[in-house]
Amino acid sequence: MAAPVPYGRQSIDESDIQEVVNVLRSDWLTQGPAVERFEREVAAYCGTNHALAVANATVALHIACLAAGLGEGDLLWTSPNTFVASANCALYCGAEVDFVDIDPRTLNMSPVVLAEKLKKAKAAGRLPKVVVPVHFAGLSCDMEAISALAREYGFLVIEDASHAVGGNYRSQPIGSCAYGDMVVFSFHPVKIVTTGEGGMILTRNKDLHDKLLRLRSHGITRNPALMEGPPEGGWYYQQIELGFNYRITDMQAALGSSQWKKLDRFVERRHLLADRYDAELKDLPLVLPLRESNGLSALHLYPIRIDPRRTPVTRAEVYASLRAAGIEVNVHYIPVHTQPYYQKMGFRKGDFPEAEKYYAEALSLPMFPSLSEGDQNRVISALRGLLG
């Protein structure tokens, strides 16, 4: 039988390997020149002022929330159609979470639902301090509408752009921070570019960047202006708040820089694969994903919906048949509020019906730059066989 086809995987070449080996032969294995170089490259590409590389996107979201001042008694809102990390970050800070249902067309947080929910929250005196829009599958949320609401209601915006590295919005790269206070990237191997584990926080705000720098490294500063009393010598530092060790290594940052050079090619290749899926699947009883909405998706995922109005074949049956054929399709996402941990906090099935309806029909097809035409044909033929 042919080798299994995953839904996503990294693309590592000899130049990536060489860059990592070069670091291993150098003086610095962590927090050396490779980290700063990677940060400068990503900030320059995105057209923003500051970038801070960290151990993964989950900790990036954690310290972004802390830098935003999120704490006990505060509220964070995000999309239910996301990975649990987009919501858990609020709980790490002692804050509460609520969700804003999705627009079934974009699969992103609906700005219309957000506006209605904000109006009610204002009347009830319970506005969120932070809103985390998630650019699902790589397609930007309607950031113009969300940032207008942020100004009106006074919340901070942390974009979870884990899927959207290399995408754009209103002709600016995602990560430009033109609409959000902070933007978070993930470099997990299934994402667009990888550092093994890794993440990045981008911002235009120097105060937020200074705060994030300290939170990444134990809450320690070497800046005399921030110390109580004068420094006692060249060795001196002070811990002025509670921080963490959320650093990334130089090996990972070197891999990140090497991968970043191929970012545009990776995204182009994903669009070529999506062109073929679009053409070959368009007459099946499926809803195909939107790839453009005021900008181009980075296409981390190619999520299809099996339309129950047009076929008796269920998503579970399609999933099982493809898996049996060695095609490792997946489902993104089980709505966060339906997870047992969130149900214990009082959320109920039915709370966010569009996210739940989408989940019941969703299937992510294989989508990664090294997916061969032959393997993509296997996916297409299997779907045509089941649904054609």
Ligand X SMILES: *Cc1c(COP(=O)(O)O)cnc(C)c1O
User: Which phi and psi (to 5°) does residue 132 adopt?
Assistant: -115, 90
Q: Which of residues 248 and 284 has its CB atom nearest to ligand X in the complex?
A: 248
Residue 77: partners with Cβ closer than 8 Å, 6 or more residues away: 97, 98, 99, 100, 114, 117, 128, 130, 131, 132
Q: Which of residues 156 and 325 has its CB atom nearest to ligand X in the complex?
A: 156
From the CB of 108, what's the least distance to ligand X, in Å?
11
Give the separation between CA 229 and CA 225, rounded to whole angstroms: 9
Residue burial 86-101, b: 16+ Cβ < 10 Å; e: rest: bbbbbbbbebbbbbbb
Q: Which of residues 176 and 252 has its CB atom nearest to ligand X in the complex?
A: 252
Helix axes of 14-24 and 250-260: crossing angle, nearest 10 degrees = 150
From the CB of 134, what's the least distance to ligand X, in Å?
5
Structure tokens at 22: 């070069």
Q: Which residue's beta carbon is nearest to the bound ligand X?
A: 57
From the CB of 230, what's the least distance to ligand X, in Å?
40
Catalytic residue among 117, 119, 129, 191: 191
Contact 168/31 with Cβ under 8 angstroms?
no
Q: Which of residues 76 and 387 has its CB atom nearest to ligand X in the complex?
A: 76
Q: Which of residues 114 and 336 has its CB atom nearest to ligand X in the complex?
A: 336
From the CB of 253, what's the least distance to ligand X, in Å?
14
Sign of CA dihedral 67, 68, 73, 75: negative
Give catalytic status of residue 357 as yes or no.
no
Q: Which of residues 180 and 281 has its CB atom nearest to ligand X in the complex?
A: 180
Alpha carbon of 36 to those of 104, 139, 223: distances in Å? 40, 28, 18
Contact 53/199 with Cβ under 8 angstroms?
yes
Binding site for ligand X (CB under 6 A): 56-58, 82-83, 85-86, 134, 160, 162-163, 186, 188, 199
Tell me which residue of 346, 35, 266 sits closest to 43, measured CA to CA. Answer: 35
From the CB of 378, what's the least distance to ligand X, in Å?
26
From the CB of 177, what's the least distance to ligand X, in Å?
18
How is the beta sheet containing 302-306 ordered, strand by strand?
286-287, 302-306, 362-365
The residues that bridge with 77 in the sheet, in sequence order, are: 98, 131
Q: Which of residues 135 and 375 has its CB atom nearest to ligand X in the complex?
A: 135
User: Which phi and psi (to 5°) does residue 54 adopt?
Assistant: -135, 180
Give the separation between CA 141 and CA 297, rounded to whole angstroms: 10
From the CB of 135, what's the least distance to ligand X, in Å?
8
Structure tokens at 291: 């790839």
The residues that are catalytic are 191
